[in-house]
């Protein structure tokens, strides 16, 4: 069960103001969601194989296009102001 102080803390982190009525409402609603998640945590998933995607699709490049795509990729990487390995390096936007 989540309490009103935790809702106030979450609201502060999200930088939103809540009325007393909203705090009460969200306390009940979030508690309900967390109770449901706790029910899901009780399910035995030990025999379930983990998956990373469900479509089964793969990125396949035609053999006659491999060199062309690789050349375009390296041309783009070489034009980037900063690069780290095979990736374009950009300024950090999150703390």
**Average pLDDT, consecutive stretches of 10 residues, N- to C-terminus, the chain (95 residues):** 92 95 95 93 89 82 86 89 89 83
37 and 8 in one domain?
yes
Q: Which residues pair with 84 in a beta bridge?
A: 87
CA 60 centroid distance within chain: 25
CA 9 centroid distance within chain: 22
The whole-model pTM stands at: 0.48
- Is 75 contained in some domain? yes
pLDDT reported for residue 17: 96
pLDDT reported for residue 36: 94
Which residue, among 57, 5, 50, has the nearest Cα to 26 in the 3D structure? 5
- Is 50 contained in some domain? no
Domain count, the chain: 2
66: tokens are: 């491999």
60: tokens are: 């396949």
pLDDT reported for residue 52: 81
| Residue 19 domain boundaries | 4-41
6: tokens are: 């935790």
């Amino acid at each position: 069960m989540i309490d009103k102080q935790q809702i106030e803390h979450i609201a502060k982190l999200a930088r939103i103001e809540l009325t007393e009525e909203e705090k009460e409402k969200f306390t009940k609603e979030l508690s309900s969601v967390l109770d449901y998640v706790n029910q899901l945590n009780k399910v035995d998933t030990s025999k379930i194989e983990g998956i990373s995607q469900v479509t089964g699709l793969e990125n396949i490049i035609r053999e006659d296009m491999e060199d062309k795509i690789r050349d375009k990729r390296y041309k783009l990487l070489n034009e980037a102001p900063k690069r780290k390995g095979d990736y374009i390096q950009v300024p950090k936007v999150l703390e």
